[in-house]
Chains A and B, each alone.
Chain A
């Protein structure tokens, strides 16, 4: 697989200077306009059958995540079982898209979801800080891929990015993409909460896409500010524009801080209105979340029975 972008923008990545010129030549983000647009799209009312459809779609887009120091193989197995059959009392509830774990838990996760179609995603590259030598990061990725990970969630070197060292970030992403080989899709985490400005998020999005990301992802979930409607909207605009220019479709994954069905539905509206229907599929859009799934299931039960459900009727994870 070629590691440089084989498209109309391939000359952009020819050198450090051209890359910098391109990223700094991207139009500035209208902060007020962006936030107002994200807020206004969040006011749509979605009810009855549309809501039922959206909840099932959202469930099928969840990357059910556990990224704790205290993760045990048992917890990963439980999570895998939940991903395959989120609501044991209702077999019509769809499976989630994937489970997302640390690299050393990939084998356990793989076993837990075997034969179900649920993918195993693994964070890698010294997640969440990303402060490790490149060789260590690549070894991290190779281990995870070798253990059977279908998707790799890498973090970019925010220090290098903020220092203006775009080429270093670009080279790291291409190297990790190569380490993923042909079997694993690569999600690139920007940690938008640490990038300070919307302009930086737009630059990071384009940088990631040029370097060969299959997905661009907002956050690790480990810092104060995670996925917001505004930064996700910005990234959706980036993937839409990237496809218009190159014909290559890239996925988007907001992660962290999305806890309620209402929030999830707002994100789906953003996707539909910004990137379009092509992205309304778990191959192209994901939610990085853990507690969100229970809320989606409770809403689903409410729609099915007409009675409000409670946390006693979903699994504790």
Chain B
């Protein structure tokens, strides 16, 4: 059978791209889809070849994603940092196995040559590994014991913020996405991600990798559609603790920041990134950490004046 491929005009099997919410792959609640076209540098209008239909998520999809993310938060933030690191490393392993698929998708989405797309995908996989290593080290770097004037141990430790809405970068459909998503979940947050509006396919395919790599359902939820339409209810949602505006333009970012102020969300403003392959530093992790400080008595002072 397989020795005569493509012989008699085999019908192409098109992939139905779906959302990734709560570990499942639903269509949009609204039933809507939109056309995703290839990007080519020659065609400035961006009307390249049709690639696929992607779901056009509605605000109810966003709401469902938040419910899923909230449900997953207890387990994910409660998992040991070591365990989270292993799970994230597993994501990198799975991505490696599907490298060819991502190279193709990124090349089409961003109008890159095959070689340059491969560089992007390799950088993205390496970034998962890099953040996987950080899970059990970030606490040593940004937490610690504080010297205080009294018989107390005074310890600061970073804790995840909660449910984080992430607007993925518009231009870098895969490396950019990984660069904003991995730091959010590495520290124990759960995420609702809005994929790049024009090039959502690599992001939707990432859901398939996450679903098969020990990441509990709901830790990452991926929506595709009009960024402004989905982001508005997320920014106003009172059960979302933080929002990363990486994929918003200036006007949208301002509008969302105002909506987010209503329940005192943590907001990470969009920052210009020229080169997503550059070392990211730990700022994207610390942006969604809260510091908890505990005062613990060293013990009753004995007659000698010391409890040690």
B270 interface hit (Cβ, 8 Å): no
1/0 contact string of A281-310 vs chain B (CB within 8 Å): 000000000000000000000000011111
- Could you give, for residues 233-248 of chain B, a 1 whenever the CB lies within 8 Å of some chain A CB and a 0 otherwise? 1001111100000000
Instruction: Say how far A83's CB is from chain B's closest CB, in angstroms.
Output: 24
When chains A and B are docked, how far (Å) is the Cα of A292 from the Cα of B70? 18
Q: How far is the CA of A312 from the CA of B70 in the complex (A)?
A: 11
Q: How far is the CB of A34 from chain B (nearest CB, A)?
A: 28
Judge whether B119 is part of the interface by a CB distance below 8 angstroms.
no
Asked if B70 and A308 make an inter-chain contact with CB atoms under 8 angstroms apart, the answer reads no
Q: Which residues of B contact A310 (CB under 8 A)?
A: 66, 70, 237-240
Interface contact A307-B63, CB-CB below 8 Å:
no
Question: Measured between alpha carbons, how far is A313 from B239 in the docked complex, in Å?
Answer: 9
- Cβ of A33 within 8 Å of any chain B Cβ, yes or no, is no
Question: Which one of B237, B239, B240, B262 contacts A311 once the chains associate, using CB atoms below 8 Å?
Answer: B239
State A312–B162 Cα separation when bound (angstroms): 12
- Complex Cα distance A307/B263, Å? 10
Question: A309 CA to B236 CA in the complex, in Å?
Answer: 9
Q: Which of B29-78 contact A (CB under 8 A)?
A: 63, 66, 70
Contacts of B239 in A (CB 8 A): 308-312
**Is there contact, CB below 8 Å, between A308 and B66?**
yes
Of all chain A residues, the one with the shortest Cβ separation from B235 is A307
Instruction: Give the interface centre of A306, A309, A310, A311 by most chain B CB atoms within 10 Å.
Output: A310
Known: A310-B239, A313-B238. 17 other contacts (CB 8 A): A306-B236, A307-B236, A307-B237, A307-B238, A307-B262, A308-B63, A308-B66, A308-B233, A308-B239, A309-B238, A309-B239, A310-B66, A310-B238, A310-B240, A311-B70, A311-B239, A312-B238
**Which A-chain residue is minimally distant from B163 (CB atoms)?**
A310
Residues of A with C-beta under 8 A to B70? 310-311
CB distance from A312 to the nearest CB of B (A): 7
How many whole Å from A167's CB to the nearest CB in chain B?
49
Interface centre among B63, B238, B240, B262 (most CB of A within 10 A): B238
The residue on B at minimum CB distance from A310 is: B239
Residues of chain B with a CB closer than 8 A to A307's CB: 233, 236-238, 262
| Residues 31-82 of A at the B interface (beta carbon under 8 Å) | none
Closest to B236 in A: A307
Q: How far is the CB of B249 from chain A (nearest CB, A)?
A: 23
Q: How far is the CA of A306 from the CA of B238 in the complex (A)?
A: 11
Instruction: Give me 14 A-to-B residue pairs in the complex whose CB atoms sit less than 8 angstroms apart, sorted by A's number.
Output: A307-B236, A307-B237, A307-B262, A308-B66, A308-B233, A308-B236, A308-B238, A308-B239, A310-B237, A310-B238, A311-B70, A311-B239, A312-B238, A313-B238
Within 8 A of B (CB), among A99-134: none
The docked-state distance in angstroms from the alpha carbon of A311 to that of B70 is 10
Contact digits for B204-238, partner A, Cβ 8 Å, 1 yes 0 no: 00000000000000000000000000000100111
Flag B253-283 by CB within 8 Å of A: 1 or 0 each: 0000000001000000000000000000000
Neighbouring B residues of A312 by C-beta, 8 Å: 238-239
Q: Which residue of A lies closest to B233 (CB)?
A: A308
- In the assembled complex, the CB of A44 is this many whole angstroms from the nearest CB of chain B, namely 17
| Complex Cα spacing A308 to B237, Å | 5
B-side contacts of A306, CB under 8 Å: 236
A308 to B240, CA, bound (A): 9
When chains A and B are docked, how far (Å) is the Cα of A48 from the Cα of B239? 22
Nearest residue (CB) in B for A308 is B237
Please, how many angstroms separate the alpha-carbon atoms of A270 and B239 in the complex? 32
A311 contact set on B, CB distance < 8 A = 70, 239
For window 4-54 of A, CB contacts with B under 8 Å fall at none
A309 CA / B239 CA spacing, docked (Å): 6
B53 to chain A, nearest CB (A): 25
Give A309 to B237 CA distance when docked, in angstroms.
Answer: 6
Nearest-CB distance from A132 to chain B (Å)?
A: 39
Looking at the assembled complex, report how far the CB atom of B306 sits from the nearest CB atom of chain A, in whole angstroms: 42
